[in-house]
Amino acid sequence: MKNAFDFTGRRVLVTGGAQGIGRAIVEGFAACGAHVLIADLQQVPAEALARSLRDGGCDVSAVTLDLADRDATLQLLAGLPRLDVLVHNAGYFPLTPLLEIGPTLLERTLAVNLGALFWLTQGALPLFRRQGGGCVLVTSSVTGPRVAYPGLTHYAASKAGVNGFIRNAALELAPEGVRVNGVEPGMIRTPAMGNLGDAGHAAAIARGVPLGRLGEPGDIAAAMLFLASDQASYITGQTLVVDGGATLPETLAATAG
């Protein structure tokens, strides 16, 4: 990726960058020369990652942030000297049956997954305007916009909203030179995948993927780097599905061997 994209001198903010997909995104931008700021609720792993990457010669720092807190989110953006790429990757999705979803769970899911996207973008816009443009990227999901998964109705609704935000914000912000795009991951091998079941369950899911494997965090990071790069300068209002072809079959029977 370092040979394909050059982000030297650019400043990138990644929410939820301490582990999983977010960690791979942070590592990808850092390897390509960007100054990366990790904003994560988990202070210890975020700072440990930043320290490890700095030891390797990269320019990475970390701050603790609860994205459900609008004021704190806007305050963080207001304190930045510059921002070229905003990546909202943080997500909240405890597996919960529909009839057991209460106000607290629903409100936090919507606040972190969708609401924070509004505040982050609003806070980033003055920085983008100052330099004549910028890039907003979002980790969406195939769950909600394309497929369904039991126990994730709250998450699916938030991600369907994310995709609506991407299209509308892209239209409104295009005159400002701001591009807005997203990536829709399928089943990616991350610590958070443990919420969906054990290793046997993961293996069963992998057998249903046309490419024959679960995705890796680096698969999503590579898509993010492309969408943030100058090579994607004419792309906005889009989501890129990265799922190994999992959403292609009309039924699971189509992939049964």
pLDDT one digit per residue (tens) for the chain, 257 residues: 556 799 999 999 999 999 999 999 999 999 999 999 999 999 999 999 999 999 999 999 999 999 999 999 999 999 999 999 999 999 999 999 999 999 999 999 999 999 999 999 999 999 999 999 999 999 999 999 999 999 999 999 999 999 999 999 999 999 999 999 999 999 999 877 666 666 677 788 888 899 999 999 999 999 999 999 999 999 999 999 999 999 999 877 677 65
Per DSSP, helices labelled H in 56-102 are 70-78
How many CB atoms neighbour CB 105 within 10 A?
Answer: 14
Tokens matching residue 162 = 């994310």
Alpha carbon distance 27, 78 (integer Å): 25
- Burial label, 97 (beta-carbon count in 10 A; 0-12, 13-18, 19+): exposed
pTM of the model: 0.94
What secondary structure letter does DSSP report for 179? E
Domains (ranges, CATH) in the chain?
A: 11-242 (3.40.50.720)
Active-site choice (92, 149, 155, 234): 155
Q: How far is Cα 201 from Cα 78, in angstroms, rounded to an integer?
A: 44
Q: Which residues contact 234 (CB under 8 A, 6 or more apart)?
A: none
- Whole-number Å distance between alpha carbons of 207 and 119: 39
Residue 155 appears among annotated catalytic residues: yes
